[in-house]
């Protein structure tokens, strides 16, 4: 599910880069790994359960002769570093291209706080699941020099983005309706 969601998020961000003069690549690896192309980097660096947005109640659904109960879906919170890289050898033009890429990605996150159901592939587009929520993160990891040093590249402008999504529940339990039950009470 994590891979499916991350690829859908990347495709969503790329679809918002409509005014770019050249085709932009997308990378999910460490920043700066795509050489010779303008690229938008979407690197997952933190993953945790989001208990605040997770329901704790089992869900029940009526079927032919009984009920199906499902455990609550897991709500995951993913934090990504979004960075941009330009292919241009001209330093001035490369810097402006990076700014254009980052600006477009930033405005996509700020303007849309939830994916539409059309952006998500199955099984994440289940109407019973809450829509994913994306927003800017207050995590300052992309602004720390040690992050860029450990990635093996020079510092680049970037921002953190947090996305929370629900995974479909597993472990359905079939419960049948009891019919024709007769209880006999003894009177003393």
Strand partners, 81: 43, 160
Whole-number pLDDT of residue 58: 63
Tell me the C-alpha distance between 10 and 175, whole Å: 40
| Helix axes of 91-111 and 2-15: crossing angle, nearest 10 degrees | 110
Q: Which of 82, 68, 73 is nearest to 124 (CA)?
A: 73
Tell me the C-alpha distance between 42 and 6, whole Å: 8
Whole-number pLDDT of residue 100: 86
- Strand 25-27 versus strand 39-49 pairing type: parallel
Q: What is the pTM of this model?
A: 0.74
Residue 158, phi then psi, degrees to nearest 5: -160, 175
Tell me the C-alpha distance between 113 and 131, whole Å: 10
Question: One digit per residue, pLDDT tens: the chain, 188 residues?
Answer: 888 888 888 888 888 777 776 778 888 887 666 677 788 888 888 888 876 655 556 666 777 777 777 666 778 888 998 888 887 677 788 888 888 888 888 888 887 655 665 677 777 777 777 778 788 877 777 777 777 777 777 777 888 888 888 877 666 665 655 555 566 777 76
The third-level CATH classification (topology) of the domain covering 2-169 is: STM4215-like (3.30.2000)
Whole-number pLDDT of residue 11: 86
Take residue 51 and report the two structure tokens written for it: 């208990």
How many helices (H) does the chain have, and how many strands (E)? 3, 8
Tell me the C-alpha distance between 159 and 34, whole Å: 18
Tell me the C-alpha distance between 45 and 21, whole Å: 30
Tell me the C-alpha distance between 6 and 165, whole Å: 10
Take residue 78 and report the two structure tokens written for it: 């993913």
């Amino acid at each position: 599910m994590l891979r499916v969601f991350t690829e859908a998020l990347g495709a969503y961000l790329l679809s918002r880069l409509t005014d770019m003069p050249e085709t932009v690549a997308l990378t999910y690896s460490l920043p700066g790994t795509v050489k010779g192309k303008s690229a938008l980097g979407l690197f997952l660096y933190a993953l945790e359960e989001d208990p605040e947005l997770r329901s704790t109640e089992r869900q029940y659904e009526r079927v032919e002769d009984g009920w199906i109960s499902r455990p609550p879906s897991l709500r995951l919170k993913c934090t990504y570093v979004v960075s941009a890289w330009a292919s241009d050898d001209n330093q001035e033009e490369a810097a402006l291209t990076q700014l254009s890429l980052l600006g477009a990605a930033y405005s996509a996150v700020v303007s849309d706080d939830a994916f539409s159901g059309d952006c998500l592939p199955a099984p994440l587009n289940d109407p019973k699941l809450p829509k994913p929520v994306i927003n800017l993160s207050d995590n300052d990891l992309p602004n720390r020099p040690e992050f860029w040093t450990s990635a093996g590249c020079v510092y680049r402008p970037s921002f953190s983005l947090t996305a929370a999504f629900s995974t479909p529940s597993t472990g359905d339990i079939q419960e049948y309706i009891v019919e024709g039950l007769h209880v006999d009470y003894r009177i003393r």
